[in-house]
Amino acid sequence: MNDLQLEMKFTGDPGRNRLRDTINAGEFTLLIESRSPAKDLDLAVGSERLAELEKCILAITGIPASLAVLDGGNSAEYWRAAEFVGALDPEERDRHLFYFGGRNTTASEMRQLTSLALSAGARNLVAVSGEAAAGEGLADTRRHHFFESRRMLSYWNAEREVPPTLFTGCAVNPFQYTAPSLFSQYANLIRKLHSGAQFVVTQAGWDMLKLQSLCWYLRSRAFYQPLIARLILLTPERVERILGGQEPGVTISKDFQRILDQELRFSRSQFEAAQWRRLELQAAGCRLLGFSGVQVSGANTPARIATVADRITSALQEFKNFNEWLEAYNSYQARAEMAPLSTSFYLYDRALLRAFPESPLKMNVPDPIEVTWGERFRYRLRHFLFPHADQQGASERQWLKRIFAGCGGCDRCRLVQCEFICPDHCPKHLANGPCGGIRPDGSCEIAGVGECIFRRQYRLADWRQHVLNWEDRVVPPGRTDEPGDANVPEIKTNR
């Protein structure tokens, strides 16, 4: 990346962004997802494949359609989505979506990739902090650098050299089934929206009630950014991958697994037919719930792309009314329980009942959130010992911080902003998480870490009755030696 030209000379019309305009005009949009390949595939070959997919997508007529290029994901070495912008038709690049993953990305590389993508004509970017590799342990994850998505959004939205039509998005995992996990995930989303996210893409899942809750929650907080639901077209192999934990943050409930097992007992073609119908129902439901579009994963051949477009177009024609859709959806899913836990928390209704919230909107009250005696004691002790740690040099009182806060030694102490739980305990060193890989029971994506640290922070903030203040904090990164960090806009901290 070192020899990239950083001056931005924009390709295409910098005043045009057809994806943003289509979504903002209320046209339900289809995005077909493709991952950038691993580096064992030649860049030129990968570019040709992507250009072929683009041609199929541009041929779709029944629904506005675009390509969403994901950053390779959790394989060790992969080409970056930004490196493929130039492979696409120069006149069409403003229609497509490009992901920026934070894994193995320094601030300087993020700037270079942004420059590369924008110069080549990309206008729609999504920031994600990145995933751990499949089976990766704590020590391995810690060796990688994860550039936080919130910081990317801040950078993109503060940078003066970007086209005025830049449309930046973020991701959220709404499939959370305990109150602390749900509220800490929502809090992170709100921070990203405050940092400049103009639209939101959800993690993939099958629980339509959780998608509806996300929509209602954001509207109740007066956030009206467009929402795009990520949907997976399942194959037997994909089901195995998900059940094997190879897609962090994607969950299949026991009931849903039972249904899939039944579908698998018949022939492969019957299994496929069942998945096409599921995709139709989900896509039509998303539109009726207020989503602006869907991003479909698993359509990786020209034939499948054409079928996805046909199926979704016809489903949008078939279901124009919420109640008709609900009846079809419930009978198809046989009212299966989509929640993976027996005591799952839902913020509003506990069943899909209506398209629009009642007025006034009633929230379910979660059970009291547990904070143990030990947690309260540790909080008070750290508060007593390090009340001004954020205003002191990070090395000050470090041996005490090591003993009482598990300090790993970063360059800027953030204990005070983090409910006195050191953010460096997150294996990805995220400061404003949680990431989308958090498991349904609230434990960290990385085995052996225990409860996600942001969920612990949330429980303490709830105990101290200042959740809104906690949500409002934007915590800086711990390392200040990355090239380019100075250009990342400064931090707002409220205490």
Helical H segments across 30-127, by residue range: 43-58, 107-119
Helical H segments across 334-479, by residue range: 373-385, 398-405, 453-463, 467-472
Q: Does 454 bind ligand SF4 (CB under 6 A)?
A: yes
Closer CB to ligand SF4, residue 186 or residue 454? 454
Rounded Cα gap, residues 162 and 148, in angstroms: 20
Which residues, 456 to 485, sit near ligand SF4 by CB under 6 A? 478
Q: Does 438 bind ligand SF4 (CB under 6 A)?
A: yes
Q: How far is the CB of 401 from ligand SF4 (least distance, A)?
A: 5
Residue with tokens 């929230």: 363
Collapsing DSSP to helix, strand or coil, 61 comes out as coil
Q: How far is the CB of 389 from ligand SF4 (least distance, A)?
A: 6
Structure-token pair, residue 2: 């070192």
According to CB under 6 A, which one of 46, 72, 340, 427 is a site residue for ligand SF4? Answer: 427
Rounded Cα gap, residues 401 and 384, in angstroms: 12
Q: Does 409 bind ligand SF4 (CB under 6 A)?
A: yes
Which residues, 372 to 391, sit near ligand SF4 by CB under 6 A? 389
Question: Are 386 and 397 in contact, with CB atoms under 8 Å apart?
Answer: yes
Q: Which residues contact 323 (CB under 8 A, 6 or more apart)?
A: none
Q: How far is the CB of 413 from ligand SF4 (least distance, A)?
A: 3
Binding span for ligand SF4 by CB under 6 A among 101-109, 305-313, 366-374, 432-440: 432-440
Torsion of CA 103, 104, 105, 109, to 10 degrees: -150
How many residues does the structure list for the chain? 495
CB atoms near residue 180 (< 10 Å) = 24
Rounded Cα gap, residues 213 and 206, in angstroms: 13
Q: How far is the CB of 33 from ligand SF4 (least distance, A)?
A: 22
Q: How far is the CB of 192 from ligand SF4 (least distance, A)?
A: 14
Q: Does 453 bind ligand SF4 (CB under 6 A)?
A: yes
According to CB under 6 A, which one of 413, 460, 475, 488 is a site residue for ligand SF4? Answer: 413
Q: Does 128 bind ligand SF4 (CB under 6 A)?
A: no
**Which amino acid appears at position 130 of this protein?**
G
According to CB under 6 A, which one of 73, 434, 476, 477 is a site residue for ligand SF4? Answer: 434
Closer CB to ligand SF4, residue 262 or residue 494? 494
Residue ranges binding ligand SF4 (CB under 6 A)? 389, 394, 401, 405, 407-410, 413-415, 422-424, 426-428, 430, 433-435, 437-438, 444-446, 449, 452-454, 478
